[in-house]
Structure 1
């Protein structure tokens, strides 16, 4: 068997390993949201989910660093040590800077999320430091395709949150306690990342093309692209707290549990195919196959949410949130659309595209304008589905056009020029 013949089997094995780890991570994370919904109640739960949504938006800094590390390692295997050394040092500095900025913005966080509790806002700000540190570590493991170590890292992201977070909210059932459990949980993957990377190699030669400045510039660009997506995927819960009564905002947050399940269920696909999407000779096939797989999974799950809504309610929050049962399939549809959009956005990052992100920002503006007119849970989720589905259709057309083009093997400069046309 040749190396080319063995590649599909290797990808299948790595996909299975990462899929299992992400499944456990998502079940644990999802399990904690279920426990939180039942323990702290609708009003406190709405505040908790709003905090999580802000962390998801801030997480784009970590994801920008992760994408930079993974992409550069995937396309330049001769400079792995240099990339690894630089990205870890850069990640530490960026994490401390993000934490400091968020601490200065604690009053603004409190007002934005309508928390009426500076303590909760403080926990959110501090939590961004380990959250950001994990980004560079994960990018190295992903780019090097160290799927076993990355799987342990992913497990550490979910299981401790469930165990530690549950213990804290059972002791004190408030939104502050719930977000504190999440913050403590962020420390565990950082510890795992430090351990598996403790014997990192020293670069033998300088690599000016992988300087801290160039990586920071790319990370900022990546973060801007991902910010547009995560803002789009998280803004509706913030809008819910602005345009809906507190009880209805809690119902909307409960429905979003289904959305997040559908968004993160195929997350392993993005993790495994990202290095392939960064490689010119495999990016088109990786993107199109992955879109089909995520779409098929979403159709099945949406149908199940429609036909088995009483069963789904057990996982969403139980009788306290019964008013949202008839809309669970719509929330599942929303999650499927977002999962496919996430893959499209990472494809843009992998090829270092630029102009496609303007479409995402446009969709975000449309969601704000239309979302502010909603006056019910059904109205707001319908707006979110319509905006996201329209964006997905447009990006899919763009991707298909790009896929028809013959892709020459680019240099760094050629890739940037080709991406600028996108």
Structure 2
């Protein structure tokens, strides 16, 4: 009887795998603790100082208090085995390998109060560092606290590897702004930041696509790590409070609102309703070969403030209607709506499947109707429902499957 295979890895197995260069150590979890986030955030401040100044921070009395704080913090990070384990994979500048400036107790906490105490500065509530008035006198040409903070707000950006997933969203947002279904408001009028929010910062569109677990910073304030995508195909993993500071500093920063159509579909007319209108969906009776072959999925999508039957009464004389009679296959009643903006939104959503067909009008002039699309009626109905519940920006039309897909 053959020997059964053990489900456990033996010492012989480990020895053999070691000779083959196979590492069985478990992959580290991507989840970071609040303490690890604080360690990384403090190290990033030092990295930004080095990038801006071109040198390591120095604990020199003539230098400003923040540079001296960075110098002490860097020494603590170098001498702490726990900190080095967290930071060495991220230390592209090899700051941890540089020669230390001071010798400090590795086990000490890495909060700024302790670091300042190492500099001989009392940072208790009665002597808070934020209230120091003599710091600039140490060096007249040193940077101000606001300048230091501005440097800290600059996050390292990198190319966004999956930008193809986000580009259609940015494109749709731009179209929404152009047709008025989205607006921009001053960021300061609504300073909250949530996942999915869109902003204009330094002239660029910015989208918050992910928010990490919250943690408490060294200053005792709640914070979290973000994944932020920019419309120039870059991304950043800056902190929430860094983004908020940048938005506040930019005097022309804007929040991009979500589409707002008001009471889009009205079943009961109210006394203060604006004149009602209709979304209408038409099917052509044209005998053109292309239309005849795909008649069931070729539809005209439009919005009107008048009677749909009257609008299509002379369809066979109008190139807009493919110079043929049409069948009204669906209508949706509207109230209090920007009809032009809604029509543009619907047609932009299906722009990738716009019917490419050229006809000659009664004067022999070639025309290309722009409001016909190769899309099933049920998908049009689904899109109208998504507009109604305010989730349309989360979807796109997938021509290969003739269905909606998440953006």
TM-score (norm 1): 0.21
More helix by share: 1
Return the structure number with greater relative CO, CA threshold 8 A, min gap 6: 1
Q: Which has the higher strand share?
A: 2
For the pair shown, which has the larger CA radius of gyration, 1 or 2? 2
Normalising by structure 2, what TM-score? Answer: 0.21
